[in-house]
Amino acid sequence: MTEISSMVISHKKAKIEEMESAWHGDLDGLLHNLYNHEYVHECVVLKTCNRVEIYVVSPSSSILFSFAKEMGASTHIIDFYGHDESLEHLLRLAGGLESMIVGEDQILGQIKELYAYSKKAGTTGKILDTAFDKAIQVGKRIRNETRINKGSVSIGSAAVDLAEEILDGLTGKSVLVIGAGEIGVLVAKALAEKDIEAIYIANRTFKKAEELAYELGGYAVKLNDVQSQLKSADVVISGTGAPHYILTREIVEKAIKDRDKNRKLLLIDIANPRDIEESAAELDNVELCNIDNLRVISERTLKMRKEEAKKAEDIIQEEIKLLNLQYKRQRADKIISELYKQVYDVRMREREKAVNRLCAYHTIGKIETEVLDDLTHSIANKILAEPTKVLRQAAELGNDEFLDVVSRVFCLEKDKVKVKAEKMKPDCGIKVENMKPDCESARDRVSEKSN
């Protein structure tokens, strides 16, 4: 039976360098290398910074073991999944449950983008289309019906959350970010999503501050001018790699000298070693927070997300049942469609024979032809109505044996066998015509016995 299987290399078992070594060539090359395999009918590849995942539709469950050997990837870093496990993993992945940071949103966008790439490349079909459409739908549903993606757990975004909590929101606030390195970028991007009045970026290398400020629609500040900028700032978030204080008590004290006495200055130090002298917190209307305060925010967020993950798990189990039912119905619908086509072909041939015979005796007009057409159409539909109902019930009950018997009795597997033969390698020595089901000879044998 043709089903989905998958292989997963992720942060759970593999280091970054191991994942990099398992990835060979470009995405397009890998997709077509997979798809050109004689037993792969469909495939999708997901590649992100902390995972490589391959999904295939194949009658052979061992196809990915062979492919892993070709990639040279060590099996100790790979998880191999069968059909049911692959579907559950894909839905969990889209829901953010398999990410390093539970509930993160980026993975859903990556799944959409990479699935669309495979679809455009022509390597997907009905089975993987159904799985990925469902995964994307489930990912959206989880984020709409739970709070799994709410709150921040990175040190940069947690600093922004902390500022919002202390100041009852950041609307209309002026924020100064000191440091345009990795942490500073995270802080600045988190701030860009808030309704702040202005964002200022200060950095030792002014050009880097200009680039980040331009990207976010903010203003660049030279590090030497930070003191003057403190006079108008509501929040200062500092995260440089400097070995010394960027803001001493003296600098802060001079900066707030002419400020409104009732206007608070919030300083958040996320550097290690620290950027802001601790004694600055002793100044009036100055509040200083550091990494310890952020850990509280992060731990609280993680706890909340884990609780929301339980709700997401329930949604996934509910959707898995619906997905499996969808696959069962699809199989029945395919058999029903082929059965209708076969019967309708017979109907059309026999109708033409009847018309030709009647024409031999007298002229047949449009009305008579339409009556014959309606009659044969009605007979075919009435004959097929009950089998259609029984086939759908069998599919919903998972009675694959019954569906297989119906397919064999009516010789409905011809197209499937032909497709498999066409995908085989040219040197396999098997001709397509030799693989057709011998329905005609079977019917002849039945006819001989009847006579």
The three-state secondary structure class of 319 is helix
Of the candidates 43, 49, 428, 439, the residue annotated as catalytic is: 49
Find tokens 């669309």 and name the residue: 116
Task: Count CB neighbours of 321 within 10 A.
Answer: 10
Q: Which letter does DSSP use for residue 247 in this model? A: B
Among the listed residues 156, 235, 223, the one whose alpha carbon sits nearest the alpha carbon of residue 189: 156
Task: Count CB neighbours of 6 within 10 A.
Answer: 23
Task: Count CB neighbours of 226 within 10 A.
Answer: 20
Task: Let me know if 428 is a catalytic residue.
Answer: no
What's the one-letter identity of residue 139? G
Q: Under a CB-based contact definition with an 8 Å cutoff, are residues 363 and 295 in contact?
A: no
Q: Under a CB-based contact definition with an 8 Å cutoff, are residues 300 and 162 in contact?
A: no
95 token code pair: 């829901």
The three-state secondary structure class of 222 is strand
Q: Under a CB-based contact definition with an 8 Å cutoff, are residues 178 and 238 in contact?
A: yes
Q: Under a CB-based contact definition with an 8 Å cutoff, are residues 38 and 423 in contact?
A: yes
CB burial string 72-98: b at 16+ within 10 A, e below: ebeeebbebbebeebbbbbbbbbbbbb
Q: Which letter does DSSP use for residue 276 in this model? A: B
Task: Count CB neighbours of 218 within 10 A.
Answer: 22
Catalytic site positions: 49
